Structures are given as C-alpha cells and as structure tokens.
C-alpha cells in the first residue's frame, strides 16, 4: 500500500476518478435480481398454499382424529376410511429397513475414505460413490423388482416374499442413500483438525482408536446431520417403493408383505387423475401435507446439527 496517503472511502458504484452519481440502471438491475430471488420464496409459498388449501377442505369433511389415528386407509371405496396410519407405517417400515442398510455401509465407507484410504484410492472410490448417487431412482426400482426380489430374496435367500414387498424396496433404497450419508459424514470427519489426530498418535493410539474415539465423536454432529438427511430422503422417495413395494395399505411390521407408502399413494392416485374438488383429489393433498411436514422437521433437525458442528472449528 502507498505510504503516507490518506485512505479514501467511497461507496461502491462511485467513481474514484470522476463525478459520482447513482446510476438508475444499477437500481433497476438490483430490483430485477431481487425479483428472481423471490421466485424461490414464491415456490415455497406455492407449495404451502397448494397443500394447505386442499388439506383444509379435506378436514372439513374428515375429522382430524380419524385421519391421524384411523387404522384403515380406503379413501376411494364406496364407504371410505381415512386413517393414514397404514401409509405412515408403510413409509416408516421402508425407511427403517433402508437406514439399517445405509447407516453401516455409509459410515463404514466414510471412515475408510477419511482415515484409511490413500489419496489414490480415494480418487478412484469417491467417483464410484458419486456414480451411485447419480443413478435415477426408477433404475433402482427396476432393479429391485426384476432382480432383487426374484433372484436375491427368493432364489438366493429362500425367503417367502410377495412379489411386491417392503424388504426389497427398503434394501435397495438403503443402497441409494449410502452416498448421501457417506459423503456428508466424510466431509464432517475430514473437517476434524489434524492436530487432534496427531496428538492422539503422539500419545500412542492405534488407528482404530483414533478413528473411533477421536475423529468419530468430534464429527458426531455432522454425522448425525448426514443420517437425518438420509432419513429425510428415504421418507420422500417415491419410485423405488412405487415399483417394488406394492400398493396395498397394510399396517404391518412384516417386511415380506406389500405395503403402501405416502409417496406411493400420491403418485398412484395422481396418475389416475381424480377430478378437482372430489374427496379423492383432496386426499392427495392431505397426505402430501403430512409428507411435507415430516421432511421439513427432519430437515430442520439436520440443519441444527450442521450448524453445531461447523461452529466447533470456526
């Protein structure tokens, strides 16, 4: 910097060399950009409004208690029942199975990549995980229905499963979520300062001890955030369950049976396209609202944990 000169501060947009005036064009541009940013707000408003409007008229006809606590879901039949519990149980069953698969595989991959892998190994394995993340979910659904259920579950493992079952959809969904959990957890673990590791090695800890007792707990917030995000993705997943899990609302914990999830119901009903205003049409939105709220809560929890782990090091 030049010594001895006074620092001149000017507002951005003001010329240091000539007359400064606020150009109108600048304000117009700022306004246009702000409008573009508003589209995202409009999207959220749109989602909330579209769900709210129909959900409220739905609850005009169906008592909230029936919806939340009823155990039979047959909204389109002659004398309908609107208990959403079978759909929620279907969603939770598939999600639970998915997490049983995704958490060990995802965390294992993350710990290996963060602590054990050489940079060359990392370079080959990380893209493979990203590849897994990029595969469209319809492809996973195809795989679950045409290969996993007949060949793996029935022939290889000899299980007696229905052709559409929650186990197949859940396991494949788990594999789909592995990259999400793995990459977020790996980020969290890599963010742990090496000083912590080196200190532990310096005191004679083995790699196993460093990984499990130093790095893992330090990155715990990020790992929990990753898992919660994985759960959120599993809850919102449609195609895998639509193709492989079936369309029978079924309040069961038996993964060998067909179940219907919230997302399956929405997709299957919207495909038939019920007319606006009918109670059937409104059920799509009521279930959609339940789905939206569940993922919103999961997401809020996840962000909380991310914020916490970021703060530790900054």
Among 2, 3, 39, 195, binds other proteins (CB under 8 A): 39
Q: Which is nearer to other proteins, 220 or 274 (CB)?
A: 274
Q: Which is nearer to other proteins, 194 or 275 (CB)?
A: 275
Among 37, 60, 118, 194, binds other proteins (CB under 8 A): 37
Q: Which is nearer to other proteins, 196 or 300 (CB)?
A: 300
CB of 258 to other proteins, least distance (A): 7
CB of 191 to other proteins, least distance (A): 17
Site for other proteins in 145-174 (CB under 8 A): 145-147, 162-164
Q: Is 296 an interacting residue with respect to other proteins (CB under 8 A)?
A: yes
The answer to whether the CB of 180 falls within 8 A of the CB of 230 is yes
Site for other proteins in 103-142 (CB under 8 A): 104-109, 111-113, 116, 125, 128-129, 131-132, 134-142
The answer to whether the CB of 81 falls within 8 A of the CB of 65 is no
CB of 65 to other proteins, least distance (A): 20
| DSSP states along the chain | --TTPPPP---TT--SSS-----HHHHHHHHHHHHHHHHHHHHHHHHHHHHHHHHHHHHHHS-HHHHHH---EETTSSS-EE--HHHHHHHHHHHHHHHHHHHHHHHHHHHIIIII--HHHHHHHHHHHHHHHHS-HHHHHHHIIIIIIIIIIIIIS-----SS-HHHHHHHHHHHHHHHHHHHHHHHHHTS-HHHHHHHHHTT--HHHIIIIIIHHHTHHHHHHHHHHHHHHHHH--HHHHHHT-S-------TTS----HHHHHHHHHHH-PPTTSHHHHHHHHHHHHHHHHHHHHHHHHHHHHHHHHHHH-
Which segment (57-65, 92-100, 190-198, 203-211) binds other proteins by CB under 8 A? 203-211
Angle, helix 279-313 to helix 262-272, in steps of 10 degrees: 140
x-or-dash string of contact with other proteins, 69-98, rule CB under 8 A: ---x-x-xxx--x-----------------
Which segment (34-42, 56-64, 192-200, 213-221) binds other proteins by CB under 8 A? 34-42
Q: Is 232 an interacting residue with respect to other proteins (CB under 8 A)?
A: yes
The answer to whether the CB of 274 falls within 8 A of the CB of 96 is no
Q: Which is nearer to other proteins, 68 or 270 (CB)?
A: 270
Site for other proteins in 233-292 (CB under 8 A): 235-239, 242-243, 246-248, 258, 263, 266-268, 270-276, 284-285, 288, 291-292
Among 1, 2, 3, 17, binds other proteins (CB under 8 A): 17
Which segment (22-30, 58-66, 186-194, 218-226) binds other proteins by CB under 8 A? 22-30
* Number of CB atoms found within 10 A of residue 175's CB: 20
* Number of CB atoms found within 10 A of residue 252's CB: 15
Q: Which is nearer to other proteins, 141 or 170 (CB)?
A: 141
Among 67, 82, 175, 305, binds other proteins (CB under 8 A): 175
Q: Which is nearer to other proteins, 218 or 229 (CB)?
A: 229
Q: Is 54 an interacting residue with respect to other proteins (CB under 8 A)?
A: yes
């Amino acid at each position: 910097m030049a010594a001895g000169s006074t620092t001149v501060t000017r507002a951005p947009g003001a010329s240091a060399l000539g007359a400064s005036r606020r150009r109108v064009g600048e304000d117009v541009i700022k306004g246009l950009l702000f409008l573009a940013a508003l589209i995202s707000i409009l999207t959220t408003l749109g989602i909330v409004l579209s769900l709210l409007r129909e959900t409220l008229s739905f609850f005009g006809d169906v008592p909230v208690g029936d919806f939340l606590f009823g155990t039979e879901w047959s909204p389109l039949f002659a004398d309908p029942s609107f208990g959403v519990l079978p759909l929620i149980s279907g969603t939770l069953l598939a999600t639970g199975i998915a997490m049983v698969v995704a958490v060990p595989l995802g965390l294992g991959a993350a710990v290996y990549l963060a602590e054990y892998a050489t940079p060359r190994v990392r370079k080959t394995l990380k893209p493979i995980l990203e590849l897994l993340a990029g595969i469209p979910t319809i492809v996973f659904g195809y795989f679950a229905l045409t290969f996993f259920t007949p060949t793996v579950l029935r022939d290889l493992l000899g299980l007696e499963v229905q052709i559409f079952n929650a186990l197949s959809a859940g396991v494949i969904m788990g594999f789909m979520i592995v990259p999400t959990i793995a990459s977020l957890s790996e980020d969290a673990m890599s963010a742990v300062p090496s000083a912590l590791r080196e200190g532990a090695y310096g005191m004679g800890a083995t790699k196993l001890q460093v990984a499990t007792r130093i790095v893992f707990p330090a990155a715990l917030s990020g790992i929990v955030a990753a898992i919660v995000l994985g759960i959120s993705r599993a809850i919102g997943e449609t195609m895998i369950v639509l193709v492989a899990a079936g369309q029978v609302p079924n309040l069961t914990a038996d993964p060998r049976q067909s179940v219907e999830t919230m997302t399956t119901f929405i997709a299957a009903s919207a495909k038939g396209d019920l007319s606006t205003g009918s109670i059937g049409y409104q059920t799509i939105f009521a279930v959609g609202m339940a789905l939206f709220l569940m993922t919103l809560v999961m997401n809020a929890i996840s962000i909380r944990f991310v914020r916490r782990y970021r703060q530790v090091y900054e």
